[in-house]
Amino acid sequence: MDERFLPQCRLHAHLLLAPYQSAVLNKLKEENVKGVISLNEDHELRRHAPTVEEWKNHGIEHLQLPTVDFTEAPSLEYLERGVEFIQQHANDGSSVYVHCKAGRTRSATLVGCYLMMMNHCTPQEAQTFMEAKRPHILLKDRHFRALYRYYDKHVKKARPNKDKRTSEPQDT
């Protein structure tokens, strides 16, 4: 398997969304990744994932926001922490690699929140943008509820022309 990131993994200038790949560590440097967010639980990472110390030895900051797969979406607190983490790295000019097991639900929920915040778009617009890049994104009702909680708290009031749809997130 080719371990390079596919172009559709880069959803924003400072953001990659992908499934977890155990052999990806060296490829992250090529993508200027200085931060990694894992939405996996401990048991999902135990056998194949680098430890916090190993990430650190590669110059990469690691944030784990453990979220149960299939039955939960990331909490509002985790979404806020994740967006803040991504923004801090973007401000430093580096990228963040966001992953869960398949890069379809938990991580896509967090990435959708970042896209909404950066582009003042709705959850549907963020989903449409992500699906154009990664068609196998699979957001279910619980993930949309999480997106809307974040949207209502952080994005809705900041949207210009609240009554009109804004353009989709920009691919910069």
Q: Is residue 161 part of a domain?
A: no
Strands in 61-64's sheet, in edge-to-edge order, are 10-12, 15-19, 95-100, 33-38, 61-64
Count of domains forming the chain: 1
Give yes or no: 9 in active site. no
Considering 9, 100, 113, 121, which one is annotated as catalytic?
100
> Which of the pair, 159 or 40, is modelled with greater confidence?
40
Q: Residue 22's pLDDT band (boundaries 50, 70, 90)?
A: low
Q: Is residue 164 part of a domain?
A: no
Cβ contact 17:107 at 8 Å = yes
Q: Is the sign of the CA dihedral 159, 15, 75, 58 positive or negative?
A: negative
Q: What is the pTM of this model?
A: 0.86
CATH of the domain at 23: 3.90.190.10
Domain of residue 16, residue span: 10-155
Q: Residue 165's pLDDT band (boundaries 50, 70, 90)?
A: very low
Q: Is residue 31 part of a domain?
A: yes
Q: Using CA atoms, how far apart are residues 27 and 83, in angstroms rounded to an integer?
A: 23
pLDDT at 118: 96
pLDDT surpasses 90 at 76:
yes
Joined tokens for residue 75: 């909490």
Q: Using CA atoms, how far apart are residues 133 and 106, in angstroms rounded to an integer?
A: 17
